[in-house]
Amino acid sequence: MSDFKKVRALTGMKDALPPESVQWEALEAIVRDWLAAYGYQNLRTPVLEHTRLFARGIGEVTDIVEKEMYSFVDPLNDERLTLRPEFTAGMVRAVIEHNVLYDRPRRVYALGPVFRHERPQRGRYRQFHQIDVEALGFPGPDVDAELIVMLSRLWRRLGLDDIRLEINSLGQAAERAAHRAALIEHLQRHVDVLDDEARRRMHSNPLRVLDTKNPAMQDMANSAPRLFDFLGEESLAHYRGLCARLEDAGITYTLNPRLVRGLDYYNLTVFEWVTDRLGAQGTVCGGGRYDGLIELLGGKPAPAVGFAIGMERLLDLWSQKDQYAHPAECQVYVAHQGEDGQRRAASLAEALRDAGLRVLVHAGSTGFKSQFRRADASGAAVAVVVGGDELASGRATVKWLRRGAPEGEQQESIPFDRLAEELQSRI
C-alpha cells in the first residue's frame, strides 16, 4: 500500500461518471440541435480572464464580484486573474476584441464550466455548467421574445412542463436614477430594520437590498417604491412589445416587479424561469437585456440580450421526468476462445465498426459463461461468439440477447463475411 493520502475532488465540484455522463452528452446534443434551429453559432472564450473584466462588467457591488470569484495573482507577471463566474462578460470582450459586430448583428452561444465560490447545496455548486446564449446588436423587443419562445421550445423538447416565467423591466439609466433616489429615501426612512449588508449597500446598490431573504426586511422591501412605476413611455412600449409577442406565442408569464437579477449590466427586459421541483435553488435560467455593456467594456455601443441556463439544474429536472432511456454501452459484444479466436474477434469487430455498429470485444481470456454475463450487462443486442467451432466452420454464432432473433430462435449461425451486413440491417 502506498502512503499517499488519497486526493478527493474539491468541495462543490462534481465528477460525472457513466451513466450520468452519458446523459450529460445526450442533453448537450439536444441543446446544440435546438441552438442550430435558431441560427446560433458557438463562440469559445478562455476559462481564465483578467479580474477587472468581471469587476467592470458584472459590477463591483455584486455578490459575484464581492465574494464569489476564484481570483489569484499570476506570480509570473503580477496580473490579477479570475476563473470566469459567467460567460457574458468574456463573450462581450471577445466580440469587441475581434470586431465581430462590424457588419451585422450576431447570435452566439457558449457551453461549459463556470466558477463561483458559493456555499454548496443541491443545485448550487462551485464549478457548474451554463448554456449561455447571446443575441448581440439587436434592440428588441422581437429578439427578447424570440429568446423566451426558444426556451419554452427547449422545455417542451425535454418534457418539462412546470417551469414558470417571471419577467420585469429595469427601464433605462435615467429611470433607474430617479427610482434609486426614491428608494434610498425609503431605505433611510426604514434604516432601523436594515441588516449590516443592507446598510452597506444602501447607497452603492440599493436595488439589490430589495433582493434580501431576511424575513425582518420583507415588509420594508414590499412597501418600497417599484422601479416599474418609474418607467417612461419608451421603456413601457418596449415592455408591452415583449408581452404582446409572448401572448402571440401562447406563453404564460407573470410580471415580478421585484425581479432585479444579481448582475449590474441589465436594462429593460429581465427574466427568470423558476420551478418548485429543485428545492431552494429553483431558478433554471436567467437573463435579460444589457444594452450598455458593450460600450462599458470599451466597444462601439450596440444593444444586446441573452440568458444562461444552469445545466446541473436542467439535468436534475430532466432526470425527474424519467424520459431518458440510457443507451447501451454497445450494440454487439464479441466473445471468443483461444488466442486465434481472440485475434479473429478483433478483426471481425473492426469490420462491424466499419459498418457503423458500436462494438465491444471481450478483453482477456475468461470462460464463455462470464463473457456472456458481461455481454448482458453491457446492454448489447447480440453476443457474437468466435470459438474453435466457429473458426473451423467460418461462421460466427450469434446469440440474440434482446430482440431481432428469427422467430422461435435465440441463436443462429452467420458466415463471417456476411456478419456485418446481417447485423447492420437487424440491430
285 binds ligand HAM (CB under 6 A): yes
Choices 29-37, 117-125, 226-234, 348-356 (CB under 6 A): range interacting with ligand HAM: 117-125
Interface with ligand HAM: number of residues (CB under 6 A)? 27
Q: Does 124 bind ligand HAM (CB under 6 A)?
A: yes
Nearer to ligand HAM, 118 or 412 (CB): 118
Q: Considering the complex, what minimum distance in angstroms separates the CB of residue 424 from ligand HAM?
A: 42
Residue 262 interacts with ligand HAM (CB under 6 A): yes or no: yes
Shortest Cβ 88–ligand HAM spacing (Å): 4
Out of 206, 299, 303, 306, the only residue in the binding site for ligand HAM (CB under 6 A) is 306
* Residues ≥6 apart with Cβ < 8 Å to 109: 35, 40, 41, 42, 43, 131, 132, 133, 134
Residue with the shortest CB distance to ligand HAM:
310
Stretches 103-111, 198-206, 287-295, 408-416: which one binds ligand HAM (CB under 6 A)? 287-295
Please provide residue 185's backbone torsions phi and psi, each rounded to the nearest 5 degrees. Answer: -60, -45
β-strands 411-415, 395-400: how paired?
antiparallel
Nearer to ligand HAM, 49 or 312 (CB): 312
**Shortest gap between Cβ of 80 and ligand HAM (angstroms)?**
21
- The rounded distance, in Å, linking the Cα atoms of 196 and 213 is 13
- Is there binding between residue 118 and ligand HAM (CB under 6 A)? yes
Task: Please identify which residue in 90, 310, 341, 387 interacts with ligand HAM, judged by CB under 6 A.
Answer: 310
Contact between 308 and ligand HAM by CB under 6 A: the answer reads yes
- Rounded CA-CA distance 53/293 in Å is 11
For ligand HAM, the binding residue among 45, 62, 82, 130 (CB under 6 A) is 130
Q: Show contacts with ligand HAM in window 32-91 (CB under 6 A).
A: 86-88
Residue 284 engages ligand HAM in binding (rule: CB under 6 A): yes
Q: Over the Cα atoms of the chain, what is R_g?
A: 28
Span interacting with ligand HAM, options 148-156, 175-183, 237-245, 301-309, rule CB under 6 A: 301-309
Please tell me the distance from the alpha carbon of residue 419 to that of residue 417, in angstroms, as a whole number: 6
Between 312 and 341, how does the x/- string for binding to ligand HAM read (CB under 6 A)?
Answer: xx----------------------------
144 touching ligand HAM, by CB under 6 A: no
Q: Which is nearer to ligand HAM, 228 or 290 (CB)?
A: 290
CA distance 125 to 115: 8
Min CB(309)–ligand HAM separation in Å: 6
One of 51, 212, 214, 283 touching ligand HAM (CB under 6 A): 283
54, 128, 155, 333: residue in contact with ligand HAM (rule CB under 6 A): 128
Order of all β-strands in the sheet with 332-336: 359-361, 332-336, 382-386, 395-400, 411-415
Contacts to ligand HAM by CB under 6 A: 86-88, 116, 118, 123-125, 128, 130, 132, 134, 262-263, 283-288, 290, 306-308, 310, 312-313
